[in-house]
Structure 1
Amino acid sequence: MIVFRYLSREVLLTLSAVSAVLLVIIMSGRFIKYLAQAASGALDPGSLFLIMGFRLPGFMQLILPLGLFLGILLSYGRLYLESEMTVLSATGMSRQRLLAMTMAPAALVALIVAWLSLSLAPQGNNEFQLLLNKQDALTEFDTLEAGRFQSLSDGTRVTYTEELSNDRSLLSGVFISQKKLGEEAKDRSISVLLAEKGHQEVRPDGSRWLVLNNGYRYDGNPGQADYRAIKYDTYGVLLPKPEVSNEVTDRDAIPTASLLGSTDPRVVAELHWRIAFPVLVFIVTLIAVPLSRVNPRQGRFLKLLPAILLYMSYLSMLTWGKGLLQDGKTPMALGLWWVHGLFLIIGLGLMYWEPLRLKLASRRSAEEMARG
C-alpha cells in the first residue's frame, strides 16, 4: 500500500505540473487569437474571459491524457534513473504489478476525462456557440472603439470616430464609408459620410438610427470625377436590427444524450470521438509503463521523443478515423474501435516483448551451456 501511494503521488504530481504547463501554452495561444478578433471588432472585448471559460473543458479533455502519458514517462523514468525501480523489482515488483498500480490513477483521470468529454465540453461548446450568435447580432457600433476603423464582417461598411462616450451614445469626428448594393450601386457605388457629431437613437418601433449632425455626404465611383457632395445639418443612418439566434449547428455542442441512437454518420462519428478520450487514457497508460523503463546510463529522456511521436500517431489516427466515419467509409458499428485495438496491440507488444525476449535468450543460453 505504501508503494502504491508513493507511485500514485509521483504520477499525479507530475501529471498536474505537465498539464498546467500545457494548459497555459494552449490557452495563451487561443487568447491571443480571440484578442486579435476583438481588436478587429469581430468579438466584444468584455466577453473574452467568458469565452475562455467556455472553451476550458474542451482544452482539458485533450490535455489530461497527454499529461498522464508524460507524467508516467517522467516520474517512472526518474525512478529508473535513481535505481528505485531496481530496488522495487528486487522486492518482487513485476512489470504487470506496476501496470496494475498505475491503472488506479489512470482510472481517476479517465473518469475526469469522461465527465469533460461527455458532459462539460459539449455544454461549454453550446454556450460558446450561443455567445457567438449574440456577437454576430451586434452592430459595428456595439464594438466600436474610438480612434480605430471598424469594419462590418461583410466589408460593406467602415466606421470611424475620434471620440466615443462611455455609454456609446455620443460620437464626435465621425467617418462612415459604405458600399452600395443592388439597385443603388448602378449609379454610385460608394457613399462617404463625414460629421462633427452623432448619437444613437431608438425609435418607438424598435428601429435603431445613427443621427449625424453638421457634415457632408459624398457619393461616387472610385477613379471617376463624378462625385456628388451634399452638406447636411442632420442625417439619419438606419442600423441593422440585431437578431439573436438560439440555434446551435455545431455537432460538438450537441448534448451526448442526443447523439445516442442516431444513424447519421457525422453524429455517430462525434459520439465515438467523445468516447475515444476515456478509452485513450487506459491505452496510453499501457504504452507508457514499458516505455518509461530507461537505462541509467542513457538518461531519462531517451525514449521521450519516440513516445511522444507514438502518442501523436494515436491522436492522428483517431482524427483520420473520425473523418472516415463521417464520410461513411467505415462501418458505424466499427467506429473508432479499430484504432484503439491497433494501439492496444502495440501496448501489449511493448509490455510483453522485452520479458519474452529475455526469457528466450535465457533459455537459449541454458541450452548452449548444456550442450557445452
Structure 2
Amino acid sequence: MLFRSSFKKDFAQTAGATFVALFTIIVTTVLVRTLGQAAGGKVDNAEVFTLILLGGLQYLPAALVITVFISVMGVVSRAFKEQEMTAWFASGLSLLALVRPVLRFAVPLTVLALVCSVWLTPWAKAELSAAKDRFAKRSDVSKVSAGQFRESGEGNRVFFVERQSEATKQVENVFVVDSREGSRTIVSAARGSVEVNADGQPYLVLSEGRRAMLDGTGERFTTTEFDTYGLAIDSTLGSAPSFQLQHRRIDLLLADFSPEAQGEVLGRVSLPLSALVLGLLAIPLAFVNPRGGNSLNQLFALLIYLTYSNIVSITQSMVAQQSLNFWVALVLPHAAVLVLFYVLVLQRNRPAGAGLLFFKRRRRGLDLADVVASQEIKS
C-alpha cells in the first residue's frame, strides 16, 4: 500500500539521520569527559579509545528510544504541514492508519534497544569499571607519564618526570613529593629506574639528586644530596571493587530477584518498551494545523517524554524499596501512556465543530417539528 510504504521510507531516513546526530553528541560528550580524566591521571592514556567506545555503548538504548520518538514526530508533523495528511484523510483514512507503519518501524528498534539494555549496556559498564579499577591498582611508577603529575594510589605521593625512555625504561628529571605522618619529603633527581629487591619489593632508584625534608611542626628543615636513593613503590592491589547490580548479567539478576534486582531488571526492560509506547504517542502529538503555523504540541511532547521517563525511574525505585509490585510497575506507566494515546487519537479524529454541528442539526429538527405541530393545530 502506498500509504504504508511512503511513511516507512520516511521513518527510516529520518531515523538514520537522527541516530547519527544523537550518537555523535553522545560520543563527543564522552570523549571530552574521558580526555579530562586522562589529563587528570584518573584513567590510562593507552585505553582512552576503549573507554570512549564503552562509554558510548552505555547510552545506546536511550539513543534508540529518542530516535524512535523524534522520527515519528518529525515525519508526521511534516505530513501535516505539507497537507499530505489532509489528502490521506480525504481518501478515507484516519490517524489510526498510522499505527501499523509506526509499529513496523518501531518494533525492530525496540528489540535492538532491548538487547542493548539487557546485555550490551551492563557488559559495557562492567568493562568500563574494570578498566578504571585496573588503572587504580597499578603501581605508582607505572602510572607516570612524561610531563604530567601523577598521584599514588594512597594519595600521599606525587610523581613528575620530564622525559621517559620506552627502550631503557628509565625516567629523567624526576620530582617526587611524599607526605607521611605530618612530615613532607621532596626529592629531585636527574635519572631514575625501577628495580626489585630479593623480597620482590619494587623500588624507584633515583640517581644524582637532592632530598629535602620538613617535619610536621615546620621548625626543622633538612636537605641532603645523594648519588643513589631508593623509594619503595606501592604494589598492593587494595580492596576489591564493589559488585554493583547494574554490572550483573540478566540471568544472575533473575536468579537472585531480590527487590534491588527486580528494580534493576525493571529499568532494563522499561526503557526499550518506552520506545514502542512513545512511537505511538507521537502520532497524535505530531498534529500541526497547516494554517496556524507551528504547533505547541512539540513542547507538550517534550514535557510528556520527561514526565514519562521520570515516572519510570520512580517506579523502579519503588520496586527496589518494596513499596510497589514488580508487575504493576512494569505495566502501569506504559498502560497509562497508551490510554493517553487512544484519547488523543479520538480527539484528533473528531471533526472540528462536530459538537456544534450536531447541536445545529438537532435545533433544525426541533424547529421543523414545531412548524408541523402548529399547522396541525390550525387545521
TM-score (norm. length: structure 2): 0.89
Contact preservation (8 Å) 1:142, 1:168: no
Amino acid in the other structure paired with 2:8: S
* Identity across matched positions, percent: 22
Which segment drifts farther, 188-197 or 71-80? 188-197
Q: Does 1:123 align with 2:117?
A: no
1:147-186 aligned at under 5 Å gives the runs 147-152=147-152, 154-166=154-166, 169-180=169-180, 185=181
Which segment drifts farther, 120-129 or 280-289? 120-129
- Which residue in 2 is equivalent to 1:106? 106
CA distance in 1, matches of 2:44, 2:309: 34
Q: Aligned in 2, Cα 1:148/1:123: closer, same or farther, shift over 3 Å?
A: closer
Shift of 1:246: 7.9
Counterpart pick for 1:193 among 187, 190, 193: 187
Contact preservation (8 Å) 1:74, 1:300: no
Which segment drifts farther, 156-165 or 199-208? 199-208
- Which residue in 1 is equivalent to 2:371? none
CA distance in 1, matches of 2:217, 2:197: 38
Amino acid in the other structure paired with 1:165: S
SS in 1 for 2:129: helix
Q: Aligned in 2, Cα 1:124/1:245: closer, same or farther, shift over 3 Å?
A: farther
- Which residue in 1 is equivalent to 2:9? 9
CA distance in 2, matches of 1:125, 1:367: 66
> After superposition, what is the alpha-carbon deviation per residue over 1:302-343, rounded to whole angstroms, capped at 9, x for unaligned?
422221121111111212222222223323343343222322
Amino acid in the other structure paired with 2:233: L
> After superposition, what is the alpha-carbon deviation per residue over 1:180-237, rounded to whole angstroms, capped at 9, x for unaligned?
1xxxx2xx52121111111122446543221111222222236723022232211111
Q: Aligned in 2, Cα 1:128/1:365: closer, same or farther, shift over 3 Å?
A: farther
CA distance in 2, matches of 1:299, 1:30: 38
Amino acid in the other structure paired with 2:261: V
Q: Does 1:256 align with 2:250?
A: yes
Contact preservation (8 Å) 1:43, 1:143: no
Q: Does 1:141 align with 2:141?
A: yes
Amino acid in the other structure paired with 1:282: L
SS in 1 for 2:256: coil
Q: Aligned in 2, Cα 1:79/1:333: closer, same or farther, shift over 3 Å?
A: closer
Q: Does 1:48 align with 2:48?
A: yes
Q: Aligned in 2, Cα 1:114/1:191: closer, same or farther, shift over 3 Å?
A: same
Contact preservation (8 Å) 2:60, 2:116: yes
- Which residue in 2 is equivalent to 1:371? 366
Which segment drifts farther, 293-302 or 192-201? 293-302
Contact preservation (8 Å) 2:157, 2:177: yes
Aligned residues: 366
> After superposition, what is the alpha-carbon deviation per residue over 1:54-102, rounded to whole angstroms, capped at 9, x for unaligned?
2333211001111111111111111111111111122222211111221
CA distance in 2, matches of 1:327, 1:168: 57
- Which residue in 2 is equivalent to 1:241? 235
Shift of 1:254: 0.7
CA distance in 1, matches of 2:351, 2:41: 63
> After superposition, what is the alpha-carbon deviation per residue over 1:327-372, rounded to whole angstroms, capped at 9, x for unaligned?
2332334334322232222222222233357554543343233234
Which segment drifts farther, 308-317 or 221-230? 221-230
Q: Aligned in 2, Cα 1:10/1:153: closer, same or farther, shift over 3 Å?
A: farther
Shift of 1:45: 1.6
Q: Aligned in 2, Cα 1:309/1:99: closer, same or farther, shift over 3 Å?
A: same
Q: Aligned in 2, Cα 1:201/1:365: closer, same or farther, shift over 3 Å?
A: farther
Which segment drifts farther, 38-47 or 233-242? 233-242
CA distance in 1, matches of 2:54, 2:240: 17
Q: Does 1:309 align with 2:300?
A: no
Contact preservation (8 Å) 2:140, 2:234: no
Q: Does 1:295 align with 2:289?
A: yes
CA distance in 2, matches of 1:236, 1:353: 81
Contact preservation (8 Å) 2:26, 2:56: no
Counterpart pick for 1:207 among 198, 201, 214: 201
Amino acid in the other structure paired with 1:316: N
Q: Aligned in 2, Cα 1:7/1:286: closer, same or farther, shift over 3 Å?
A: same
SS in 2 for 1:142: helix
CA distance in 2, matches of 1:168, 1:145: 15
Q: Does 1:228 align with 2:228?
A: no
CA distance in 2, matches of 1:325, 1:168: 57
CA distance in 1, matches of 2:110, 2:357: 38
Contact preservation (8 Å) 1:269, 1:335: no
SS in 1 for 2:20: helix
Shift of 1:247: 6.0
CA distance in 2, matches of 1:252, 1:168: 43
Q: Aligned in 2, Cα 1:89/1:145: closer, same or farther, shift over 3 Å?
A: same
> After superposition, what is the alpha-carbon deviation per residue over 1:262-284, rounded to whole angstroms, capped at 9, x for unaligned?
34221110000011022101210
CA distance in 2, matches of 1:214, 1:203: 21
Contact preservation (8 Å) 1:19, 1:63: yes
Contact preservation (8 Å) 1:273, 1:336: no
Gap runs ≥5 in structure 1: none
CA distance in 1, matches of 2:324, 2:83: 47
Which segment drifts farther, 131-140 or 266-275? 131-140
CA distance in 2, matches of 1:249, 1:167: 39
Gap runs ≥5 in structure 2: 368-379
Q: CA RMSD in A?
A: 2.3
- Which residue in 2 is equivalent to 1:275? 269
Contact preservation (8 Å) 2:140, 2:233: no
> After superposition, what is the alpha-carbon deviation per residue over 1:14-50, rounded to whole angstroms, capped at 9, x for unaligned?
1221121121112211211111110011101221211
